C-alpha cells in the first residue's frame, strides 16, 4: 500500500525519520481489537501487538495505539505479524471518558480531518447529545459536520434543521436519505483523497448504511431501527479504518451509549459561543447567570433569543467538566505515588543484588 494515499505527509515523515534510520517500518492502525492491531504498511496488513517495553512505559490507556494512529513497528513479513514500538504524535484525537466508573481517556479515532456527526431525523433526535458531540469534536482538533440521516422518516425537515442550528453554530448541516438516495453527493466535498473522516453517532442512526453507500458494497451489516422507540441496534462492533474507492479514508465506529466528556473545557467556548459572547456583556464579571441583575444571558432568554434548555445544558456541562477535573487530579496524584513506589522498589532490588 502507498502510504501517501492514506494520509502520510511531511510532518509524519519528519516524526518517523529517526526510526527509519534504525530500520523500523511505518504503518497506520486500521483496526484495533483487545490490544491487537491490524496495521496498513507498504508491505501488507500485518497483525501486531505492542512490545513489552511499550507496555511497561505506557502509563495511561491513551498511550496505546488507536485507530488512525501512525505507528513504528518491526514487521515479520513471513508471518504477516509485527511488533509496535512507538506511536507518532497525533494531529487530532476524538476522546471521551471511558464508560463506567474508571476515570480514563478512551481515544475513539486519531489523526482525523473531519468528523461526521450522524443523527437520525426521527423521534430520537436529541439536541443535548449533539451539543456533547460538538464539544468533543472541537476539542479533538478535527472539523465537525452534522449529518441528519433518514430524511425519508421526517415530515418537518425544515423545522428539525432550525432546531439543530440553534446548537450547531456555524457547523455545516447535511440532510441525507439512503432510501431515496438524496444528499449523499454533499458528503463528497469532505471525502477527498488522503483525507480521513470519522463517522460518529448513536446506534441505528445510519452510519453503516452511509459506509456501504460510500464504499459501493455491502461491507457493514445494516439492521432496522426498533419500532417501539425509534432507536437502532448495534451493527458495527469495532472501530475500523476503510479505504474508499476515491482514496478517502473512513473510520467507522460502534454506536455510543455513553458520551462522557474528557478535557473539553477549552472547546466549551467554541460550542457555546452564543452564551460565552453574552457573558462578556453581563453587568458582573463573575455572573453565574442565576438571578443577578443585568445578566445578559437571562435577558436573551426573556427576549426569546436563547432557550432555557440551552443555558441548562451549558451549566450541566460546566459542572461535569469541573467534576472530571477533580477526579483526574486525584488519579494523577495516585499514579504519581505508584510510579515513585515502583522506582524505589526497583532501586532496592538492585541494591540487594549488589
The domain total for the chain is 3
Measure the CA–CA gap between 334 and 351, rounded to whole angstroms: 26
Q: 346 in a domain, yes or no?
A: no
Report the CATH number that the domain containing residue 303 is assigned in CATH: 1.10.40.50
Which residues, at least 6 apart from 27, have a Cβ–Cβ distance to it below 8 Å? 3, 39, 40, 41, 46, 48, 70, 71, 73, 82
Q: Does residue 337 form part of some domain?
A: no
| CA separation for the pair 128, 95 (Å, rounded) | 18
Q: Judge if 107 and 223 occupy the same domain.
A: yes
SS3 222: coil
For residue 22, which phi and psi values (nearest 5 degrees)?
Answer: -90, 5
Residue 35 cell numbers, joined: 490490544
Q: What is the torsional sign of CA 40, 44, 49, 55?
A: negative
CA distance 26 to 86: 10
Domain assignment present for residue 64? The answer is yes
3-state SS record for 269-336: HHHCHHHHHHHCCCCCCCCCCCCCCCCHHHHHHHCCCCCHHHHHHHHHHHHHHHHHHHHHHHHHHHHH
pTM for the model stands at 0.77
In a domain, 292, yes or no: yes
Binding-site entries for GTP: 149-152, 201-209
Range of the domain at 127: 93-252
User: Based on the domain organization, do 81 and 14 belong to the same domain?
Assistant: yes
Domain boundary, last residue among 55, 87, 119:
87
Q: Decide if 195 contacts 116 (C-beta within 8 A).
A: no
Cα 350 to Cα 344: distance, rounded to the nearest angstrom: 10
Q: Give the pLDDT confidence score for residue 228 in this predicted structure.
A: 44
DSSP three-state, residue 15: helix
The closest alpha carbon to 71, from 56, 83, 59, belongs to 83
User: Is 133 found in the same domain as 67?
Assistant: no
Q: Please indicate, yes or no, whether residues 118 and 219 belong to a single structural domain of this protein.
A: yes
Question: E strands along the chain, which residues?
Answer: 25-33, 36-40, 47-50, 70-76, 81-87, 93-97, 105-110, 114-120, 143-149, 173-175, 196-201, 240-243, 249-252
Question: What's the pLDDT at 145?
Answer: 96
Give the count of alpha carbons within 13 A of 51, CB side only: 13
Residues 66 and 163 in one domain: no
CB contact at 8 A, 112 and 155: no
* C-beta of residue 46 within 8 angstroms of C-beta of residue 77: yes
Looking at the structure, tell me whether residues 216 and 166 fall in a common domain: yes
Neighbouring-strand partners of residue 117: 146, 200
pLDDT in tens, the chain (354 residues): 899 999 999 999 999 999 999 999 999 999 998 889 999 999 999 999 999 999 998 878 889 999 999 999 999 989 999 999 999 999 998 886 655 555 567 788 999 999 999 999 976 788 988 988 888 888 888 999 999 999 998 888 999 999 999 899 889 999 999 888 899 999 999 999 999 999 998 878 888 889 999 988 655 444 444 434 444 444 545 789 999 999 999 998 875 555 555 555 566 777 788 888 888 889 888 888 888 889 999 899 999 988 888 888 888 887 777 766 665 555 444 544 554 455 556 555 656 665
Domain co-membership, 107 together with 224: yes
**Domain assignment of residue 266, yes or no:** no
Within this chain, do residues 148 and 203 fall inside the same structural domain, yes or no? yes
Residue 343 located in a structural domain: no
Binding residues for Zn(2+), as ranges, are 282, 287, 289, 295
Give pLDDT, residue 206. 84
> Cell 449529518 maps to which residue?
147
235 vs 221: CA distance, rounded Å: 6
CB atoms within 10 A of CB 327: 13
| pLDDT value for 226 | 40
Residue numbers belonging to the annotated binding site: 149-152, 201-209, 282, 287, 289, 295
CATH of the domain at 63: 2.40.50.140
Amino acid at each position: 500500500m502507498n502510504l501517501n494515499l492514506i494520509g502520510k505527509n511531511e510532518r509524519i515523515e519528519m516524526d518517523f525519520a529517526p526510526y527509519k534510520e534504525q530500520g523500523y517500518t511505518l504503518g497506520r492502525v486500521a483496526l484495533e481489537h483487545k490490544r491487537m492491531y491490524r496495521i496498513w504498511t507498504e508491505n501488507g496488513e500485518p497483525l501486531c501487538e505492542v512490545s513489552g517495553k511499550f507496555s511497561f512505559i505506557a502509563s495511561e490507556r491513551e498511550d496505546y495505539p488507536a485507530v488512525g494512529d501512525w505507528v513504528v513497528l518491526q514487521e515479520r513479513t513471513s508471518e504477516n505479524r509485527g511488533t509496535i514500538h512507538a506511536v507518532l504524535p497525533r494531529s487530532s484525537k476524538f476522546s471521551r471518558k471511558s464508560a463506567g466508573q474508571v476515570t480514563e481517556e478512551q481515544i475513539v479515532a486519531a489523526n482525523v480531518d473531519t468528523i461526521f456527526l450522524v443523527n437520525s431525523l426521527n423521534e430520537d433526535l436529541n439536541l443535548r447529545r449533539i451539543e456533547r458531540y460538538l464539544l468533543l469534536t472541537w476539542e479533538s482538533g478535527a472539523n465537525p459536520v452534522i449529518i441528519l440521516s433518514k430524511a425519508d422518516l421526517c415530515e418537518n425537515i425544515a423545522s428539525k434543521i432550525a432546531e439543530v442550528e440553534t446548537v450547531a453554530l456555524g457547523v455545516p448541516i447535511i440532510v441525507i436519505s439512503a432510501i431515496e438516495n438524496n444528499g449523499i453527493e454533499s458528503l463528497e466535498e469532505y471525502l477527498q483523497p488522503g483525507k480521513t473522516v470519522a463517522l460518529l453517532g448513536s446506534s441505528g442512526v445510519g452510519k453503516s448504511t452511509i459506509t456501504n453507500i460510500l464504499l459501493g458494497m455491502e461491507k457493514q451489516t445494516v439492521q432496522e431501527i426498533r419500532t417501539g422507540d425509534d432507536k437502532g441496534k448495534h451493527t458495527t462492533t469495532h472501530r475500523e479504518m476503510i479505504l474508499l474507492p476515491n482514496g478517502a479514508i473512513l473510520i467507522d465506529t460502534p454506536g455510543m451509549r455513553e458520551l462522557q466528556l474528557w478535557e473539553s473545557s477549552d472547546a466549551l467556548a467554541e460550542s457555546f459561543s452564543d452564551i460565552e459572547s453574552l457573558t462578556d456583556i453581563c453587568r458582573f464579571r463573575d455572573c453565574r447567570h442565576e438571578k443577578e441583575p443585568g445578566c445578559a444571558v437571562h435577558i436573551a432568554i426573556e427576549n426569546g433569543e436563547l432557550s432555557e434548555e440551552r443555558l441548562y445544558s451549558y451549566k450541566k456541562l460546566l459542572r461535569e467538566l469541573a467534576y472530571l477535573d477533580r477526579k483526574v487530579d486525584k488519579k494523577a496524584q495516585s499514579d504519581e505515588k505508584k510510579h515513585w513506589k515502583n522506582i524505589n522498589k526497583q532501586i532496592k532490588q538492585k541494591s540487594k543484588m549488589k
